[in-house]
Amino acid sequence: MEDCIFCKILNKEIPTEFVYENEDLVAFNDIHPRANTHILIVPRKHIETIKDLKEDERDELLVGKMVLAARDIAKKKNLDGYNLVFNVGRSAGQIVFHIHLHLMSNG
Ligand code: AMP
Ligand code: ZN
């Protein structure tokens, strides 16, 4: 997607260090962290919001993989407790319309 900032990060148009990546998704530090650790887990597939997920195996798997990636990153970083957040829609504070999971921790 042309004007999507996360697609630009994925295409390396905006240089960003990945803290984790696999064939389905990447993870990088949030540019405006709201916790000691604030990482975004971003699928390579452009999907605007959680509302746009398809009821097919591919999207179901993708969301599961996002959660498991967050868990693995947290484990690697020895985080005890953490919050996993999807903001869904502008009124809920979503500003980037390419789905992403916030991993936030102060522990
Ligand atoms: P949301 O409000 O759920 O759409 O979250 C979007 C997040 O993306 C915000 O927390 C921003 O700080 C973050 N963000 C925006 N641009 C960048 C960027 N270039 N690199 C890293 N994080 C970004
Ligand atoms: Zn995108």
Span 3-35, pLDDT tens digits: 999 999 999 999 999 999 999 999 999 999 999
pTM above 0.95, yes or no: yes
Q: Does 2 score more than 80 pLDDT?
A: no
What distance in angstroms lies between residue 78's CA and the mean position of ligand 1's atoms?
Answer: 23
Catalytic site residue 100?
Answer: yes
From the CA of 85, give the closest atom in ligand 1.
Answer: 3
Considering every ligand atom shown, identify the ligand nearest to the alpha carbon of residue 86 and give its number. 1
Structural domain that includes position 20: 5-105
Return the CATH number at 36. 3.30.428.10
Query: Exposed, middle or buried: residue 4 (CB in 10 Å: 0-12, 13-18, 19+)?
Result: middle
**Tally of domains in the chain:** 1
Which 3 state secondary structure label does DSSP give 40?
A: strand
